Each structure stands twice: as structure tokens, then as C-alpha cells.
Amino acid sequence: MAPTRAATFSDSSALIDFVINRGNGVKGLSELGLETLPEQYIQPLEERMCMTNIVPEESIPVIDMSNWEDPEVAKLICDAASEWGFFQIINHGVPVQVLENVKDATYRFFNLPVEVKNMYSKEHSPSKNVKFGTSFVPHAERAFEWKDYLSLFYVSDEETYTLWPCVCREQVLEYMKKSKVVIKQLLKILMKGLNVNEIDEIKESMLMGSMRTNLNYYPICPNPELTVGVGRHSDVSTLTILLQDEIGRLFVRGNKKDSWVHIPPIKGSLVINVGDALQIMSNGRYKSVEHRVFANGSTNRISVPIFVNPRPTDMIGPLTELITSGEEPVYKQILYSDYVKYFFHKPHDGKKTIEFAKI
């Protein structure tokens, strides 16, 4: 029987059983109509957003990609990757209908019955490449994050049609395939900005040899000011391509001390951010920046990021072209799967993961 509206879940084991073991997630908690946030989701003061730290007059660059071969567009992209680590792109070539379809598919998945979604949980999923979960790493967190997700690691079209949920697989696959064209354009520009003028098969594999898409769901939250949708972190990807809905609530670390900048939703746009892997490969020229998501007390929110990564078996480090031109390496060569394991074995903690790769 589901806990009552008045349930406080003061017993952690009851909350973990309801949210994680039985697959209700925070969507299930939200739908109970709880009037107060369970204490397991209350973040330490230092992890909550202080509104005085938000800088409304600052914004990340918005770049028109309609003529992506224009040298001025290339300069804007490289400058944004160096100075902000984040930018939005418009007129990028991914049809708006493809973006709308994947947003609809995200809602379809999260509106499935709990027992169907739970078939894709870590304990029940037919593949480690398909995972329905909640928060980030619940077993290691002092306080949980207010988010459910479905993670889909792409291996092949055949596996997609066999293992991914039928309510969203075609839409996610189309979104990934259409975005891949944009990803290649962006990486070509970013590599030229490092004087790497040719992306051969080996380098392409290291830059974008694997891809994972997440469907993220942030339900209405009681006391949203006490928790987070996603805590402070930088991505471990080469690039992340993010589709957000019209709700907003995504913030990126600003260039002023302790400042945070909102990334406003722009219909049809995609948010691009540099990940740790590209920061390492660029020897720090492009920067991977902390970002976070606030919980919302009035509206459900979704987002759909594509994480463009090296292959797990790739060794990553500063690109050879940079070192042979005389740069001192800031980062060591590291097995990408080791870097990812380090990231996922601990709670979100800002930019601390990158220290793992420093010389």
C-alpha cells in the first residue's frame, strides 16, 4: 500500500524501498501530494542556491549555426568553449519536430505504470546499457537529488530496437542521428581552434566513439528551495548536447566568484557544453564548467541530454598536436573508463573529478 499523504518518510529504509526498490522514483513521491520535503532530500546549506548569487545581467552566448562554415561562427564557438564552456545554438539543422517528438516520448516513458518502468531498473533491466533510476548515486549521497532518469547507451540500431523501451526508442534514435551531424560540425570547428586540422578515424573515435542519451524527469517538488534537481558538477563527456523544455531552471557557474547564470530556454535551440574529456584533450584550453538544476515547486520539467564520449577503452590526454607544438601537459594519459568510474562512485561535487586526471 502506498504511504499516506501525511507520511514523512522519517524512516530512510521506507523511503528507499518506495522510491528505489519499488521504482516509484521522485515522481511517485511528488504524486503523493506531500506537503513537506522528506528529510533525505534536504541538501546542506552550502549546496542550496542563494538567490543573491544569480547574475541576471549575464548570459551564455547564443550562436546562429545557419552558416557554420563562416569563420566568424567558428570564432564564436571556440571563444564560447574557452570562456564559458557553455553556449546555445540555433538554426542548427535538427528539425524542431524531432525535438518535440523526443520531448513527447520522454513524458510517455515517465507516465508508464511503475511496474513497467521498473523493468528497466538496475536490478531488472535486460542490459546494463538501459537503466531507469533516480537521483545520482543514492548509495553514496548524503542527500538525494530530486530527479528520475532513463539512461540509454547506444550500441547499435539492432540493440536499440531489441532492448530500449518501445514508447521512446524511435524518437531518441532519430534525435541522436540528427544531432550527430551537428556534433561532427562542432568538433571539427573546435579541433581547428586547437590547430588540429584533420580528424582521422582514430581521433574521431576518441572524441565521439560512444554516445549516451538520458531522459530526465524533474517532478513538482514541495520545498524546492531545500533541495536540487541536479547538484553542482561538470560532465565527463567530450561534449553534451542538451534539449531542455520551456521551464528552465538550469544554471551554469559564471565568470565572477560564486556567481550563477541562468540558461533561458529558447524554442528549437540546443544547449552545448564542454565536458571534462574535451578539457583534458584540449590541455585546458576549452573548459568544462560546473552546472546545476534547481527543483521546481509548480511545474514538472524534462530535459534530454546526449553525452558524446570517448570509448571506454580509449586512453585520453592532451592531444599530441598540442604537446608537440611545445605546450606543457596539464593532464596525464588516463583510461576513459577509469575516469568515468571515479565520477560515478561519489556524489556530485563540483569540479573535483578533473583533479583525478591532473599531473
Mean pLDDT of 21-29: 95
Segment 106-135 shows an average pLDDT of 96
Please give the average per-residue pLDDT across 66-86, as a whole number: 97
What pLDDT is attached to residue 265? 96
The arithmetic mean of pLDDT across residues 41-49, rounded, is: 90
Instruction: Report pLDDT for 6.
Output: 37
Q: What is the DSSP letter of 336?
A: H
pLDDT over 60 (residue 338): yes
Q: How far apart are the first and last CA of the chain?
A: 54
For the residues 43-47, what does the mean pLDDT come to?
Answer: 90
Grid cell digits, residue 9 = 518518510
Picking from 236, 239, 264, the residue whose alpha carbon sits closest to that of residue 189 is: 239
Among the residue ranges 84-93, 173-182, 251-260, the one predicted with the least confidence is 251-260
Lowest mean pLDDT among 29-38, 190-199, 253-262: 253-262
- Band (pLDDT 50/70/90 cuts) for residue 8 is low
Q: What is the pLDDT of residue 50?
A: 79
Residue 1 confidence (pLDDT): 42
Relative orientation angle of helices 169-192 and 201-208, to the nearest 10 degrees: 120
Question: Pick the residue with more confidence: 137 or 225?
Answer: 225
Which amino acid, residue 121? S
Whole-number pLDDT of residue 137: 81
- The confidence score (pLDDT) of residue 207 equals 98
* Poorest-pLDDT segment among 42-51, 113-122, 184-193: 42-51
- Enter the C-alpha cell of residue 109: 516513458
For 171-217, the pLDDT digits (tens) are 999 999 999 999 999 999 999 999 999 999 999 999 999 999 999 99
Give rounded-to-5 percent helix, strand, coil for the chain. Answer: 35, 20, 45
The pLDDT assigned to 140 comes to 81
pLDDT at 238 over 70: yes
Q: Name residue 223's amino acid.
A: N
Mean pLDDT of the residues in the chain: 93
pLDDT band at 350 (very low <50, low <70, confident <90, very high): confident
279: pLDDT strictly greater than 50: yes
Alpha-helix residue ranges (DSSP H) falling in 86-154: 96-110, 114-117
